[in-house]
Structure 1
């Protein structure tokens, strides 16, 4: 095909991705790949002398299978972490400690430890909250005594896989270090570029902090321009996410693209000569990589910088048609060095958005030709937003279970604002030695940021601004993405086969949705949450949360379960106050819970210490006389047919999730 001929890296990347998927999800198939490789090589040898048809086909197959086989072996095997144990370590601090509610967090690079298993490991350290932590700087060498623990998930069923998230960043251990258990033996004097960039970024953030007094504006500006998101409040993250503007806070393709366009316009005159074109490429490339270094070399910045570096090289060679080749080449290079990137949400969303913008934007833009310059810019902005959303729609719903309805409206606001904030902040840094100019620029940037955040809050308050609890299964996602790819090739290549394939895949998508709903309506599960021993009883979409304490339900535990199993809002039942309850599938009395055909025994017992405190507080007038005594409810056991699970002695780090067994009656 002409497309693959003009963009050879798209073909290479396709086979490389197949290998990574096999290596990650189907490791036993790797032996089969060797068999295919042997057969393919044999056919090539048999046709090598004559090179008659179909020699080219055999040779192409050999190269493709070789790529797939080699790629499958680049996926690192799961790391077997060492058991939790106390260690004496010599380590280098890699970043400035970030304040958390009860500690300071920072990454450490271990050079030496009692056990060689920890040598050269990067760990996540939590320092005791003392004033001395603020004196630590990147590059400082520390000697510490601490208990190294393997990073584990918090036990939330169907929740965020934090362990895998950190493993993708090659971080497998964490530790808490008290003030008396560490000492700095050498101040930071490392010549590492990353550490020097960390110092420079900290200096720039402190400079912003000295001029911008609004806390939220400072957080947004630091995140948007320098990639420093550690101090962003959950509230700010929430309304940026619910309005579809979260991508602005993550330094990525948008920011690097803005800088690329600005530098291209500024230095465009250099392209008039041959040597000028070379200087143009080198200057912009170096500045882009300096910005990536300044923002901490996060994965999103790496992706964007590599991508635009290839686009820069492609455009300098006057090959605008090679844009897809540049995108594929950048993805291939990144995956070659770090295969785990493929399984990161940010990597998938970044490349889906860029590819979709490149493909759909010119087609959407051609649908209307506004005459007025401002109207034209607004139309282009809308087309970019819509094109990006088309590419990321399925992935966003699959990972986040929500869809921001007014994404197009928020992007009308945040993209121009981001450009002004980005440009204004860098002008502020340039003119910071001139105090009155720096103050004017800081005030201007702060005002724009404040207005932007205010308007985003208003958009969040609009009716139906966010569609939540949307469920999409893995098979549905795969079918939807494959169907989208076929439609792209149909539009690009005008081949009917791609169209018919997409129609078949659409039918498969609806069929998978039907089976998912069937499974949802027939599911019968119980979940025991590890943090409080609450029991979640599930029958179809109907579900009951049996609470063994008076604490408010933990939404961080509940919401992933509701999203994953497509449940209705749970019916809350407090055992302490519930004497009797009856529905079609649940019966509760004072000593027994019967759910469908499963029996849960429990009892209420008076806690002497609690009653003593209760009587004392009542005598002191701290509680009204008609207040009920405090009862401690305990679930003794869960009976699943003839299997008994003693919850009173159950100590689980992760929640217990089990299907109810079908009745034997």
Structure 2
């Protein structure tokens, strides 16, 4: 099958741009300044185009095309290099810990956590050596959440005392790389700020439009707070229509994740697409739907509705992506251009990546474009597998009563709608399946059943929620003229809001019902590497090529790639089987040891308190998934665990694991303690009161001194320098991450 590039020109352009961005992400630090090379290639391309125009022929055209693709590849490299803020000469990295004060503005939404507020600030100046100097850089800050402390607002200008710290790498095996996530958003530092460390000195929003949009979003949220009375339904209403998920509890989030319906709570392409569909349907009812003037008016109205909605949701990144995609679709329809959806998607991706190349690393960006691309290509093909209307019409007979014939016809319509929705859901899953395994390590087998009911109800709920907002706005306008009329109209708002709340309750209860009825439908704990994810994508593409071209070579290719994938999994399991590790985890205020033997582990908490669900989920489970663990046992205290250990004296615990003894100290060493040679490490916990001379007399200076997470920061700062001065090697798990001891003598 020949690929037709003419209607898909931008597909050819966006691919080298993406390749350049990916190249910079892996090899960027080693590359020189690239914009001179881009300028040379651009000039060469323009010259090649002029030459090809004067000497028409395939050779000249191919040369010009090759130059264009090369220039776009280098453009991707250059754009990403220019967008990397840490390369700036006045970046925070250049000042290190010399910063005495810094001036910064709040540049993001504030996330409400149980004990803290979290947001991002952008630095404009720092004071070093008593002098203020211009600076740039993003800092992810956390401040204590108290009743007296005001919530940080977008545009607040702060004067902060102290220097921010570079963002930390993952502290435990397999843990989410939050540092890399921040770097992709041009944030390279973190800072926990005490209330007496900062002061708000001004209000200067970086973007006045965004500041107004964020205030509008909070004002609109207040409407739901007023009319939706149940707390859970109010939280879901704000998430469904506005994308504000501050009040959605963890149990609800987990239920939606387990059933593959998390996208319902994320305002993105679904909501914008529903608005676009509603506007198109309403305009389709108007008479005289022809001519360029009508197309222009409908396009302007469609753009106004979509971007007004984006404004009311606070101009969040996900809504902006969807608004850009649908804007290109509206413009293409208005100009009556016969372009393909693939080209429109490529144009939208091209524009967004030119604006911010790091969007290519954004999970939402990847899932959105892959899902739409898969739906455009696969949904019609899957839908053609079965024709429900034809199926039901074939069963109509002339001798049947009219009621039976109408029943067959109605059944055909219902089945057709259900099958179309099923085809859409299946199509979206085909392309996003590898990313779901790679990022979220799970796959919900109940996604089809969940989405088939929850998505239609939630889609209708979006419409009803928008009607509530429109009616509330109408009440405000009427109130300017007549208070009585506004009061009467408010009853209508309450009635529609009650319907809205009932619909949210229905699809939310359905999600929980699916979770209860199908508890084993979630396949969790799956770990695949990035190359393995690429292999799955390659298998899917090869199979799609086989079904489209009907050539056996593509099926052979798919089977070969599937064999390579299976072989990589077997090889990884074989490499892991003999691997033995003792891990001293970094979990705040806890003393936790992990004893790993291949895919099995015993996790022991030395303080005899069980790990909380949050501690297990974020600190232990990622490493378990990475190792494809088959058995992980948690032991609150070492006494009930299968780990051989003995108390040598009060405050001294000796463990023997795979030929590597380990000592854990949480008190003093008595002078009568016998020497213990050959230790792998000496773990100090709970601010153990020991000095280097005592430790050297009992254990020697060979073992590493490890400060576990139960030690206070002031204690570690003092003892670390003392032990290093005495010739010991030290390791602080709170600062440098988990300490790992390999098994074996």
TM-score range, shorter chain: 0.7 to 0.9
Are 1:87 and 1:148, in contact at CA under 8 Å, matched by a contact in 2? no
The correspondence for 2:230, drawn from 206, 214, 220, is 214
TM-score norm. by structure 2 comes to 0.76
2:18 corresponding residue in structure 1: 17
Are 1:105 and 1:126, in contact at CA under 8 Å, matched by a contact in 2? yes
DSSP-derived class of the 1:3 partner: coil
Instruction: Say yes or no: does 1:563 pair with 2:642.
Output: no
2:440 corresponding residue in structure 1: 400
How far the C-alpha of 1:436 sits from its partner, in A, is: 0.6
CA distance in 1, matches of 2:647, 2:334: 78
Instruction: Say yes or no: does 1:536 pair with 2:594.
Output: yes
1:499–1:327 Cα change, 3 Å? farther
CA distance in 1, matches of 2:569, 2:207: 56
Are 2:170 and 2:176, in contact at CA under 8 Å, matched by a contact in 1? no
Instruction: Say yes or no: does 1:102 pair with 2:115.
Output: yes
Are 1:548 and 1:633, in contact at CA under 8 Å, matched by a contact in 2? no
1:297–1:87 Cα change, 3 Å? farther
How far the C-alpha of 1:185 sits from its partner, in A, is: 4.6
Are 2:239 and 2:267, in contact at CA under 8 Å, matched by a contact in 1? yes
> Which one is further off, 422-431 or 533-542?
533-542
The 5-angstrom pairing of residues 66-85 of structure 1 reads 66-76=71-81, 77=84, 79=86, 81=93, 82-83=95-96
1:612 corresponding residue in structure 2: none
Are 2:658 and 2:744, in contact at CA under 8 Å, matched by a contact in 1? no
1:512–1:315 Cα change, 3 Å? farther
The 5-angstrom pairing of residues 365-444 of structure 1 reads 365-371=383-389, 372-432=412-472, 433=475, 434-444=489-499
> Which one is further off, 132-141 or 311-320?
132-141
Are 1:520 and 1:566, in contact at CA under 8 Å, matched by a contact in 2? no
Segments of structure 2 that go 5 or more residues without pairing to the other structure are: 87-91, 390-411, 476-488, 649-653, 671-684, 708-729
CA offsets 1:473-508 (integer angstroms, 9 cap, x no match): 222111111232343445456666655443432232
Are 1:243 and 1:404, in contact at CA under 8 Å, matched by a contact in 2? yes
How far the C-alpha of 1:141 sits from its partner, in A, is: 4.5
2:309 corresponding residue in structure 1: 291
2:399 corresponding residue in structure 1: none
Instruction: Say yes or no: does 1:651 pair with 2:726.
Output: no
> Which one is further off, 255-264 or 588-597?
588-597
1:351 corresponding residue in structure 2: 369
CA offsets 1:610-642 (integer angstroms, 9 cap, x no match): xxxxxxxxxxxxxxxxxxxxx9898989xxxx9
CA distance in 1, matches of 2:134, 2:250: 33
CA offsets 1:234-267 (integer angstroms, 9 cap, x no match): 1111101111110011111111111111111122
1:520–1:130 Cα change, 3 Å? closer
Are 1:113 and 1:119, in contact at CA under 8 Å, matched by a contact in 2? yes
1:505 corresponding residue in structure 2: 561
CA distance in 2, matches of 1:474, 1:130: 42
> Which one is further off, 86-95 or 442-451?
86-95
Are 1:146 and 1:175, in contact at CA under 8 Å, matched by a contact in 2? no
1:539–1:189 Cα change, 3 Å? closer
CA distance in 2, matches of 1:155, 1:495: 49
The correspondence for 1:526, drawn from 575, 582, 593, is 582
The correspondence for 2:508, drawn from 447, 450, 453, is 453
1:616 corresponding residue in structure 2: none
The correspondence for 1:152, drawn from 168, 171, 183, is 168
How far the C-alpha of 1:220 sits from its partner, in A, is: 0.7
The 5-angstrom pairing of residues 244-255 of structure 1 reads 244-255=260-271
How far the C-alpha of 1:388 sits from its partner, in A, is: 0.8
Are 2:85 and 2:186, in contact at CA under 8 Å, matched by a contact in 1? no
2:679 corresponding residue in structure 1: none
1:96–1:15 Cα change, 3 Å? closer
**Bigger-Rg structure (1/2):** 2
TM-score norm. by structure 1 comes to 0.84
The 5-angstrom pairing of residues 140-289 of structure 1 reads 140-145=156-161, 147-153=163-169, 155-186=171-202, 192-268=208-284, 269=286, 271-289=289-307
